[in-house]
Structure 1
Amino acid sequence: MAALMIQGCGSDVGKSVLVAGLCRVFANRGLKVRPFKPQNMSNNAAVTAPDAEGRVGEIGRAQALQALACRTAPTVDMNPVLLKPQSDVGAQLVVRGRVEGTWKAAAYQDRKASLLQVVLDSFERLRAEADIVVVEGAGSPAEINLRAGDIANMGFARAADVPVVLVGDIDRGHVIAALVGAHAVLDEDDRAMIKGFLINKFRGDPDLFNEGRAEIVRRTGWADLGMAPWLSDARALPAEDAVVLDGGVRSGGGRVRIAVPMLSRIANFDDFDPLRHEPGVDFGFVPPGQALPGNADLIILPGTKATLADLAFLRTQGWDVDIAAHVRRGGRVLGVCGGYQMLGRTISDPDGVEGVAGSAAGLGLLDVETLLAGDKTLRRVGGRLSPSGAVFDGYEIHIGRTDGPDTARPVAEIEDRPHGARSADGRIAGLYVHGLFDRAEARGALLGELGAVSDGADQSVRVDQALDRIAAVLESRFDITALARIAGLT
């Protein structure tokens, strides 16, 4: 079956969005399409659909989005190797949806080559069920210092014999050098895998870069397959890399103000995308070095890949003092996943599942305690908020369990069982559910407690519509016929 790999001249050049857009382009043509990324590194993960044995796993958020673009359910084969950074030098390794320990960066370089067969097996399963598989690379193939044992870019492309199209980001201002430089440093066999290039994120009159595109063709011999404009609709899609949060993100000018501190290992921050689109909400991520706003109506503590480490980070920023002052003023606090754990009296990690064994006092805003132990919880969930009864959908992805007196006042009901905890005055709440704000009904109930009215839009509809608009742009700006021919569709 057909396959095409989209690699980039670096991270954050827009590969994930272009793959999602191309998946929707081919799906709109009636083809059965599957996304694939051999190796990903991200703390923004999604829970997959159950397999034939009823098991679920976790994959990168971008591949879950790309599955949506294909109009199919996400599976562990779409991202067989996922690295979730826990520190500056170490990451949790997830293989086909399940944790296989924590690895230091240097040690993983020796380990990754042994994962090539796992990657190839997953790819072949997808190829067997699809008309075309659209593959996303990671980082850049020009990082030739990492070429030995590579499974993410040319190592995979050559092993699976998948043709490559290289993407350059013109918004960075050196796209000619990036593409021509990649051609210069790649070895002859790797270079031969690249059949053409795409330019991404162009602003202004596209004719102004005609000479530049011709020069890239002249110097590389690669086919010019098109140039995409700046895709403003990409803002409606869930981002995977925390780089998009650098410097903080603010949106809206509504009278209700919601603030989220940017923890050092923040995870699943796309939980808050629906709030960024609410006209009645002034939403902001607060970067390190800045105080949490004194006039916030709600502070949300987000998920994190390393709860104890990020609790210490929160305190070094002085955010614990800001939160305490916020509560004294009558403000509300919501904790999601790791943020929920931080709100309790203590967090204990006796076996060092997050790295170094230890424990710490929490913020003491909820009368609960958390034990980080046992298997990771991975499940899709649906339920109702308490006491409103508003329906929500979401997923859980965490290690640990939280218990204590405040769980007698649950935040939600899942499968007819209470979930989460709330303080006696109702202003402090926590739960493990990601995606809580996606459904308009649940978001409306939560915003109603703050005096805001929701726009009534389901996030899934907003994302699906954005994918269609992106696909329409790519249809008009890319040579889709040539891309299909390179993939082997014609």
Structure 2
Amino acid sequence: MKTLMIQGTTSDAGKSTIVAGLCRVFVNRGVKVAPFKPQNMALNSAVTEDGGEIGRAQALQAIAANIQPRTDFNPILLKPNSDTGAQVIVHGKALSNMEASSYHDYKKVAMEAVVESHQRLANEFDALLVEGAGSPAEINLREHDIANMGYAEKVDCPVILVADIDRGGVFAHLVGTLELLSESEQARVKGFIINRFRGDIKLLESGLTWLEQHTGKPVLGVLPYLHDLALDAEDAIAIENNVSDSKIAIKIPLLPHISNHTDFDALRLNPEIDLTYVKMGEQITQCDLIIIPGSKNVIADLAFLKSQGWQDDINRHLRYGGKILGICGGFQMLGQKIYDPDGIESTIQEEGERAITGLALADFTTTLTTSKTLTQVTGQLTLMGKQCAVQGYEIHCGQSHGPALDAPMISDLSTGTHGSDGFISQDNQIVATYLHGLFDHSDVTNVVLNWVNERHGVQTNIDINQHREGQLNRLADVCQQHLKMNEIEHILQAGVTTTSKAHN
């Protein structure tokens, strides 16, 4: 199997997007290709068909490669649950929570899992397109590195370095990063890609010539700034929306550990829906619907929600007839209490128990457990007499029980012991579910919007799967046009033996 790694001079340089674009380009060229990210740190994740968990970016890249997501595409996933710690997920399954110092010592074991996945993929695919993490020049993280050059050296693969010119200082980023690498690592870098350029390319040409002459490595392309490119975010929250004719207003409190915010992309991209993330220090003002999103640390985020005064905003919203939707962790927050007997997320205690009082808007409680539910499901959504098929996925620690769940939001589940999910309040103002991906299909969005306001008037609905395909094809076309694809394919095929030389 041929392997090519895309590394960046910084986080958010465009690595995820470029790997996705290249996956689609190579598939179109008849190459059986797979994506790979040795180590990902992100709260946006996806459930694979075999019941594992990987980073959302690798699921997107798998779609770009026209294959089903699998755990081997992202063997190590870190989901931060504090400023210094994270849940460590190996081959799709949660191993434990680790502090940063402990994980640093664990990296030698983690590398074994990375190599194991790499070797399995080598038996099946012609090519592997690998995404690095952060920057390879982070000196403090170089020891036992598995995310960037440590992996590249282990599997002996070439590297292309990507920099974001829109940030400024692109030549310093590229030359400085190269300078901080070891001699063998520098030799692995076979060329550069400059990302997010806007302006007259002729004004950049002298800089490109200097870069090639100074480093002896080719510039393999300059990708333009793609306005309105909307693909599943790896972690950063896309808060912008393009509202042309607002017919319904939705507010989402921006929790510190918000997870799987891609749940709301179909709503955010809808020009007739005004979706706003409410930031720290802001008030949840008048709207039609408040969505309480998923959370990686539901107890800490619930405490944060209360500290912001948002509980009062939510109660006022309900008094004026507004609607509430809770998803996953947001579902758990709506109950009477969340118990954490094993200290999975917190050491907070109330009345001698490891627990926190919920928003008390429904009669149920949740107990966090050491095991995590990871499954893809289908079912039947029913709201105000309207029904439609729904499919999504569950990623959560904890089980919820109580009388409120006797009136489920979703029934006829394809998996699970209870056959139903979530609840609908007796006054019909509050609904909740564990299912992520609820709005990925327009039929579900129609039913939910009809529940929020029967006279909402929204005519446009976004099928996120169709939208994603269009965006991936657009991205591939841009890569094909602006990158030197023949040279990139040659680098992939030749490996580290490729001789670097400047190309004007």
Short-chain TM bin: over 0.9
Cα distance in 1 between the residues matched to 2:92 and 2:425? 35
| Change over 3 Å in CA distance of 1:369–1:101 after alignment to 2 | same
Cα distance in 1 between the residues matched to 2:461 and 2:155? 45
- Tell whether 2:401 aligns with 1:410: no
- Tell whether 2:359 aligns with 1:368: no
Aligned residue for 1:376, secondary structure, equals strand
**How far 1:11 moved relative to its partner?**
0.3
Partner of 1:458: 463
Q: 2:277 aligns with which of 285, 310, 316?
A: 285
Q: 1:48-197, aligned counterparts within 5 Å? A: 48-50=48-50, 56-197=51-192
Q: 1:34-49, aligned counterparts within 5 Å? A: 34-49=34-49
Q: 2:229 aligns with which of 208, 231, 234?
A: 234
> Do 1:17 and 1:234's aligned partners in 2 also have CA atoms closer than 8 Å?
no
**How far 1:382 moved relative to its partner?**
1.2
Aligned residue for 1:389, secondary structure, equals strand
Cα distance in 2 between the residues matched to 1:382 and 1:231? 35
Cα distance in 1 between the residues matched to 2:457 and 2:102? 50
Q: 1:389-404, aligned counterparts within 5 Å? A: 389-404=387-402
Cα distance in 2 between the residues matched to 1:210 and 1:339? 51
| Change over 3 Å in CA distance of 1:120–1:199 after alignment to 2 | same
Cα distance in 2 between the residues matched to 1:286 and 1:202? 31
**How far 1:249 moved relative to its partner?**
3.6
**How far 1:232 moved relative to its partner?**
2.6
One-letter amino acid of the structure 1 residue matched with residue 317 of structure 2: H
The normalised TM-score by structure 2 is 0.93
Cα distance in 2 between the residues matched to 1:202 and 1:316? 42
One-letter amino acid of the structure 1 residue matched with residue 323 of structure 2: R
- Range with greater deviation from structure 2 (183-192 or 468-477): 183-192
> Do 1:440 and 1:454's aligned partners in 2 also have CA atoms closer than 8 Å?
no
Gaps of 5+ in 1: 51-55
> Do 1:444 and 1:454's aligned partners in 2 also have CA atoms closer than 8 Å?
no
**How far 1:126 moved relative to its partner?**
1.3
Cα distance in 2 between the residues matched to 1:81 and 1:406? 37
Q: 1:202-241, aligned counterparts within 5 Å? A: 202-235=197-230, 237-241=231-235
Residues 223-257 of structure 1 show CA distances to partners (whole Å, capped at 9, x for unaligned) of: 1100100123532x111223x45xx5444241210
Aligned residue for 2:335, secondary structure, equals coil
Partner of 2:442: 440
One-letter amino acid of the structure 2 residue matched with residue 346 of structure 1: K
Cα distance in 2 between the residues matched to 1:461 and 1:379? 23
- Range with greater deviation from structure 2 (454-463 or 117-126): 454-463
Partner of 2:499: none
The normalised TM-score by structure 1 is 0.96
One-letter amino acid of the structure 2 residue matched with residue 459 of structure 1: I
One-letter amino acid of the structure 1 residue matched with residue 270 of structure 2: E
Partner of 2:246: 254
**How far 1:374 moved relative to its partner?**
4.6
Cα distance in 1 between the residues matched to 2:62 and 2:146? 21
Partner of 1:382: 378
| Change over 3 Å in CA distance of 1:362–1:106 after alignment to 2 | same
Cα distance in 2 between the residues matched to 1:384 and 1:489? 51
One-letter amino acid of the structure 2 residue matched with residue 389 of structure 1: Q
Partner of 1:3: 3
Residues 47-92 of structure 1 show CA distances to partners (whole Å, capped at 9, x for unaligned) of: 0112xxxxx1000000000000001000000000000000001000
Cα distance in 2 between the residues matched to 1:126 and 1:142? 27
> Do 2:344 and 2:370's aligned partners in 1 also have CA atoms closer than 8 Å?
no
Aligned residue for 1:226, secondary structure, equals strand
* Percent of matched pairs sharing the same residue: 46
**Residues matched between the structures, number:** 480
Cα distance in 2 between the residues matched to 1:399 and 1:428? 22
Residues 268-312 of structure 1 show CA distances to partners (whole Å, capped at 9, x for unaligned) of: 00000000122221111111111112x210000000000000000
| Change over 3 Å in CA distance of 1:486–1:233 after alignment to 2 | farther
Q: 2:430 aligns with which of 398, 405, 428?
A: 428
Partner of 1:481: 486
Partner of 1:53: none
RMSD: 1.4
